C-alpha cells in the first residue's frame, strides 16, 4: 500500500521496533534484492498486527523508492544509498525522526550495506546509537572468523600476512558489534559458539531460520511444472537451490554430477536443476567475474544434463521443490545458516550435503531428533571429492526408506521453526518485561505532557 503523506507520529512510539535491513521496494519481488530482503519480509509478515514496525532500507537508483505500508502496522522507508559514505548520516537523520523509538533491530550480512569501508564502520555507528540511548539488537546472518576458509570467495590466500591481518580485523569487528548490541542473534549453536570467544555467552541468542507451511503437489501438477521447464514427465531431478557462488560449490557440483553421468552411475533421464541466479552482492566483484564467466560456460556447454532456471520468484519456489527428487548442498565453506535448507525441510525433501555444510545439522535439537528417527547423518554427508560424493549420492538416490525418515525429520523441525514462533522469539528478546514496563511508563508520561 503506497502512501503519499506519512504520519510519522503514529509510528513514533516506545513500543515501535525500528528495523534496519535490506527490504523489497514497493511492489518488488521479495528475494530479488538478496536473501536477507526475503528473510526480513517473511519475518515481519509474521509479527502480530498490533506490533508497530518501521523499516529503514536501501534506496535503489532508477527504482520506485516511495515509502509504503506493508500491512497497517509496518512502515517501509527507503532511506540510505548503498556503499555511500553519507549512509550513516542518512540513517541517523531518519532515526532522529523517530526519537521515541528505543529498540533497533539490525539484520546484517556482508555487502548488504556497502563494500569493506562501509561494512567495517557499521558496528561503530551502532555503538554511537547505543551511547545515545538506543537499544540495538543485531542478527548476524554470517559469522566468519577465518577468511582462509573462503579463499576463493574473498580473493585471499589461505596462508598469508594479508589473511592474518584481515582475520584480526574480523575479531575486532565482531567484538565491537558485541559492545554495541544488547543482544546478538544468530541462527544456530555453531555460530553462537564462534562468538563466545568475543563476547559474553549471555549476550548471544540462537533464533533458528523460520520455516513456512508445507505445500503438496499432485502428480499431474508436477508433470505440468516439468513441461513448463521443457522437461519430459519422467525426468528425475537433482536440485541445487539458491544464489550461485563459489563458497556454495555450484561449479563443483556440476563437474561431479557430470562425472557420475559419464561413468554411467546416473541414468539418462536424471537432470541437475540449478534454481537460482548469480549472487547479486557478488556478481560485480572483480575477482569473481572470471568465476561466473566460467560457471556460465560450464552450464551452457552441458545444457543436455544441467538446467539453470535463473532467479526464482517467491510464488514459484514451491514448484521447484515439488519436482526435486534429491537436494544437494555442496558447500566449500560455511559462514551462515541456510535458507535453502529451511526450504528443503519445509517441502520435506531428502538431501545430502558436504562436510562443511553439515554444521547446519549439528544442533542439539537436530542431533537428538536424527537419533530418535534412526537417521545416520554420516550417510548423508560427503567430502569434497568425487568418490565420497558418489557414495553419498548413490546411497540416497531414490531411497524410499531414507526419504521417508527425512520427511518425518523435516516435519518435526518445520513445526518447531515455524515463522510465527520465530517472530515471537524476536519480540520476546527485543521487548523484555523490563523494557515493556519502562515503555509503558514512558508512554504514560508522554500522554500526560501531550494533553
pLDDT score for 327: 97
Predicted confidence band at 48 (pLDDT cuts at 50, 70, 90)?
A: very high
- Statement: residue 301 has pLDDT above 80: yes
Predicted confidence band at 77 (pLDDT cuts at 50, 70, 90)?
A: very high
Q: What's the per-residue H, E or C state across 104-134? A: EEEEECCCCCCCHHHHHHHHHHHHHHHHCCC
Average pLDDT, integer, range 254-279: 93
Q: Which phi and psi angles does 367 have, rounded to 5°?
A: -60, -45
CA 138/CA 127 separation, integer angstroms: 12
Q: What is the pTM of this model?
A: 0.88
425: three-class secondary structure by DSSP? helix
CA 19/CA 8 separation, integer angstroms: 15
Kindly calculate the radius of gyration of the chain based on its CA atoms and give it in whole angstroms.
23
- Mind listing the pLDDT tens digit for each residue in 218-255? 999 999 999 999 999 999 999 999 888 888 999 999 99
Average pLDDT, integer, range 38-60: 96
CA 446/CA 451 separation, integer angstroms: 9
pLDDT score for 158: 73
Do 346 and 211 meet the contact criterion of CB atoms below 8 Å apart?
A: yes
CA 402/CA 316 separation, integer angstroms: 27
CA 349/CA 156 separation, integer angstroms: 36
Predicted confidence band at 216 (pLDDT cuts at 50, 70, 90)?
A: confident
pLDDT score for 444: 45
pLDDT score for 450: 38
pLDDT cut 90: percent of the chain above it: 70
pLDDT score for 156: 63
The alpha helices in 302-380, defined as continuous H runs, are: 317-322, 339-346, 364-372
- Mind listing the pLDDT tens digit for each residue in 281-293? 666 677 678 888 8
CA 211/CA 410 separation, integer angstroms: 10
Average pLDDT, integer, range 385-411: 95
pLDDT score for 2: 58
Do 26 and 66 meet the contact criterion of CB atoms below 8 Å apart?
A: yes
pLDDT score for 171: 93
Ordered structural domains, the chain, with CATH = 8-210+419-450 (3.40.50.2000), 219-416 (3.40.50.2000)
- Mind listing the pLDDT tens digit for each residue in 312-356? 998 899 999 999 999 999 998 876 677 889 999 999 999 999 998
> What is the H or E stretch that residue 1 is in?
none
Predicted confidence band at 6 (pLDDT cuts at 50, 70, 90)?
A: low
**Cα→Cα distances 228→14, 224, 234, 323, 365, Å:** 50, 6, 14, 12, 39
DSSP string, 45-95: HTS-TT--EEEEEEE-TTS----EESSTTEEEEEEEETT-TTHHHHHHHHH
Amino acid at each position: 500500500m503506497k502512501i503519499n503523506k506519512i504520519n510519522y507520529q503514529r509510528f513514533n512510539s516506545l513500543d515501535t521496533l525500528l528495523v534496519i535491513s535490506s527490504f523489497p521496494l514497493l511492489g518488488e519481488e521479495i528475494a530479488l534484492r538478496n536473501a536477507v530482503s526475503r528473510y526480513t519480509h517473511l519475518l515481519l509478515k509474521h509479527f502480530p498486527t498490533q506490533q508497530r514496525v518501521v523499516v529503514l532500507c536501501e534506496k535503489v537508483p532508477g527504482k520506485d523508492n516511495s515509502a509504503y505500508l506493508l500491512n497497517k502496522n509496518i512502515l517501509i522507508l527507503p532511506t540510505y544509498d548503498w556503499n555511500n559514505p553519507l549512509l550513516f548520516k542518512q540513517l541517523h537523520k531518519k532515526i532522529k525522526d523517530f526519537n521515541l523509538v528505543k529498540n533497533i533491530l539490525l539484520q546484517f550480512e556482508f555487502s548488504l550495506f556497502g563494500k569493506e569501508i562501509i561494512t567495517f564502520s557499521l558496528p561503530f555507528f551502532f555503538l554511537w546509537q547505543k551511547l545515545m540511548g538506543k537499544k540495538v539488537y543485531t542478527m548476524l546472518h554470517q559469522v566468519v572468523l577465518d577468511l582462509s576458509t573462503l579463499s576463493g570467495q574473498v580473493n585471499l590466500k589461505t596462508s598469508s600476512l594479508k589473511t592474518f591481518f584481515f582475520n584480526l580485523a574480523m575479531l575486532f569487528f565482531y567484538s565491537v558489534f558485541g559492545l554495541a548490541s544488547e543482544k546478538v542473534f544468530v541462527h544456530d549453536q555453531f555460530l553462537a559458539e564462534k562468538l563466545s570467544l568475543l563476547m559474553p555467552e549471555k549476550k548471544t541468542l540462537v533464533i533458528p531460520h523460520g520455516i513456512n507451511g508445507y505445500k503438496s503437489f499432485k502428480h499431474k501438477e508436477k508433470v505440468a511444472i516439468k513441461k513448463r521447464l521443457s522437461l519430459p514427465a519422467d525426468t528425475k531431478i537433482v536440485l541445487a537451490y539458491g544464489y550461485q557462488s563459489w563458497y556454495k560449490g555450484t561449479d563443483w557440483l556440476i563437474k561431479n554430477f557430470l562425472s557420475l553421468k559419464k561413468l554411467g552411475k546416473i541414468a539418462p533421464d536424471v537432470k541437475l536443476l540449478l534454481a537460482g541466479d548469480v549472487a547479486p552482492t557478488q556478481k560485480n566483484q572483480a575477482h569473481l567475474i572470471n568465476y561466473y564467466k566460467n560457471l556460465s560456460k560450464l552450464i551452457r556447454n552441458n545444457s543436455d544434463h544441467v538446467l539453470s532456471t535463473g532467479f526464482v520468484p517467491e510464488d514459484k519456489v514451491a514448484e521447484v521443490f515439488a519436482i526435486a527428487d534429491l537436494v544437494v548442498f555442496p558447500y566449500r565453506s560455511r559462514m551462515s545458516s541456510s535458507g535453502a535448507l529451511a526450504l528443503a525441510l519445509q517441502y520435506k525433501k531428502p538431501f545430502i550435503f558436504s562436510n562443511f555444510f553439515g554444521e547446519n545439522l549439528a544442533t542439539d535439537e537436530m542431533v537428538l531428533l536424527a537419533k530418535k528417527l534412526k537417521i545416520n547423518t554420516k550417510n548423508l554427508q560427503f567430502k569434497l571429492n568425487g568418490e565420497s560424493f558418489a557414495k553419498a549420492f548413490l546411497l540416497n538416490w531414490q531411497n524410499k526408506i531414507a526419504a521417508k525418515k527425512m520427511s518425518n525429520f523435516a516435519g518435526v523441525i518445520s513445526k518447531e521453526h515455524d515463522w510465527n514462533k520465530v517472530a515471537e522469539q524476536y519480540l520476546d528478546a527485543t521487548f523484555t518485561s523490563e523494557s515493556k514496563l519502562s515503555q509503558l511508563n514512558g508512554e504514560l508520561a508522554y500522554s500526560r505532557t501531550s494533553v
